[in-house]
Structure 1
Amino acid sequence: MAHLRIGNQIISQAEITHLLAGFQMLPQLCRLLIIETAIAPFELTPSEKECVIEQFYQNNQLTTPEAIAKALEHYSISLEQLEAVAMRELKIEKLKQATWGTKLESYFLQCKPQLDKVIYSLIRTSDAEVAQELYFRIKAQEQTFADCASVYSQGQEAQTGGMLGPVPMSQPHPAIAQKLTISQPGQLWPPMKLDEWFVIVRLEKLIPAQLDDAMRSTLLNHLFETWLAEEISKAQLTIHDDAPAPVLITR
């Protein structure tokens, strides 16, 4: 029967399974197995394989035969397994592109209101009369927003003259975000009550999200992780002490 030796300790196959469970590593194993199954159909061209392996060796300081041999011994893997690790990320990228690449534009448009960034000014105070007075001072240009915020605002924004951002539109309180969404730059809103606060908001700048390479990567990663979380939640982890394999994952 297969076993694992660590120093003078011999761990049986059944014990390995229970150790993985005890150290809460089964969900991670499940994640990796699901990924391996999903990327199995994707092949790399010889040039892609050569490039990613070379880059992997460079990134991990495996630049000499001795260093590679030491890594193989340290991880108890073969050269073929090490190269499979090196190729995994590119295969995952191929999976992402094949599965969600054509859906990115529509998904981006769906998510764009939350992806847009905003710079805005905020004053919050627990006193309704103070909020109203400050609003009229700013509107009449008797005092600047920054001066009023620095003196009267009761949050951390006082340290920046009330200025916040750039932040995703999804970050501010939904009521504030709703005002910012329909604002023009420089538009000042009368005080509104949010929980225990009275807040004054002014839009400074709207920064629309763009479907550039960085955004594409972010959205692909989000779609991939969402899919993976769903697959993990559907998987059933079952330990069989008398089974030849330590963990069975069934659907």
Structure 2
Amino acid sequence: MTETIQIGNRTITASELIPLLANYQMLPQLRRELIIDEAIEQISRSANAVVECTPEEVTQAQQQFFAEKQLNNEVDIQAWMAYQGLTPDQLEAVTTRKLKIEKFKQAVWGNKLESYFFQCKAKLDKVIYSLLRTQDVGIAQELYFRIQDQENSFAEVAREYSQGPEAQTGGLVGPIELNALHPVMVQMLSSSQPGQILPPARVAEWFVIVRLEKFIPAKLDEPMKVRLLNELFETWLQEQHKQIMSASTDEPPS
């Protein structure tokens, strides 16, 4: 017997599902979830890592899931299950999936976070700086000397002459991570001291005057740990996806 799904007046067979998923650009998401499931299953069989959930964790995960979906009572839950086409066993899998993925991340990369953090730290450090930019090198030189000679403050000159959005804040920018800046700006700010005004330099189409206001070192706190875990997880997922696509491309035609 061929399984089908009835949607409105259309009956969809199992053989039609893959083309439909491709048409609606849903195959990459399916592939992603299957890669994750297989990895969790593999690591759960390992003696060195466990991705199982305690009954208390399951209950907490379900309560959090229901709250996020605004399912306030059993009627809401049953209606949502019917809409999603879920059985009670599938409901538990869905509500604990996020928890299991987090446990998987910790099991695989938790002990690598510190070394990864120090590897990336130079890009994660933040700065607050003052910026003035113009496309006229002559004006940039004149404004630099006016600030140096204290004829005008940096903020005054930036408000009047800077040609970017920083003019609205008197030239003040940040806090911003160094990895979000142009490489030339990173070099300038990394090699200067707070309060030091750097002479005009060419950055892309601009001539810029920069003054470092504050350097804010990155810290391996809880939010940073979550961010780095997610980065490592997503990088791994991309690599897995590439390997699968490469393998499928290399397969000889049947």
Post-superposition Cα deviations, 1:210-251, rounded to whole Å, max 9, x if no partner, equal 10000000000011011011111222497xxxxxxxxxxxxx
Identity of aligned residues (%): 53
SS of aligned partner of 1:141 = coil
Partner of 1:227: 236
Partner of 1:243: none
Partner of 1:158: 167
Partner of 1:6: 7
Partner of 2:106: 97
Does the CA-based 8 Å contact 2:185-2:203 persist in structure 1?
no
Partner of 1:61: 70
Does the CA-based 8 Å contact 2:125-2:215 persist in structure 1?
yes
Alignment match of 2:209 (pick from 189, 200, 223): 200
Partner of 2:190: 181
1:45 aligns with 2:46: no
Post-superposition Cα deviations, 1:133-174, rounded to whole Å, max 9, x if no partner, equal 111111121210011111111222112111111111112221
**Rounded Cα–Cα distance in structure 1 between residues aligned with 2:59 and 2:205:** 61
Instruction: Supply the AA of the counterpart residue of 1:117.
Output: K
Normalising by structure 1, we get a TM-score of: 0.90
**Gaps spanning 5+ residues in structure 2: where?**
45-50, 249-254
1:130 aligns with 2:130: no
1:139 aligns with 2:148: yes
SS of aligned partner of 1:164 = strand
Partner of 2:48: none
Instruction: Supply the AA of the counterpart residue of 2:153.
Output: T
Instruction: Supply the AA of the counterpart residue of 1:158.
Output: A
Provide the alpha-carbon RMSD of the alignment.
1.5
Post-superposition Cα deviations, 1:114-143, rounded to whole Å, max 9, x if no partner, equal 111111111111222211111111112121
**Rounded Cα–Cα distance in structure 1 between residues aligned with 2:212 and 2:123:** 16
**Rounded Cα–Cα distance in structure 2 between residues aligned with 1:194 and 1:69:** 59
Instruction: Supply the AA of the counterpart residue of 1:121.
Output: S
**Gaps spanning 5+ residues in structure 1: where?**
239-251
1:28 aligns with 2:37: no
Partner of 1:18: 19
Instruction: Supply the AA of the counterpart residue of 2:211.
Output: R
Query: How far does residue 46 in structure 1 lie from its aligned partner after superposition?
Result: 1.6
**Rounded Cα–Cα distance in structure 1 between residues aligned with 2:79 and 2:70:** 11
**Rounded Cα–Cα distance in structure 1 between residues aligned with 2:67 and 2:210:** 50
Does the CA-based 8 Å contact 2:158-2:166 persist in structure 1?
yes
SS of aligned partner of 1:143 = coil
Query: How far does residue 6 in structure 1 lie from its aligned partner after superposition?
Result: 1.3
Instruction: Supply the AA of the counterpart residue of 2:183.
Output: P
Partner of 1:216: 225
**Rounded Cα–Cα distance in structure 2 between residues aligned with 1:136 and 1:105:** 44
Q: Across the two proteins, how many residue pairs are aligned to each other?
A: 238
Query: How far does residue 208 in structure 1 lie from its aligned partner after superposition?
Result: 0.9
Which structure carries more relative contact order (alpha carbon 8 Å, separation 6+)? 1
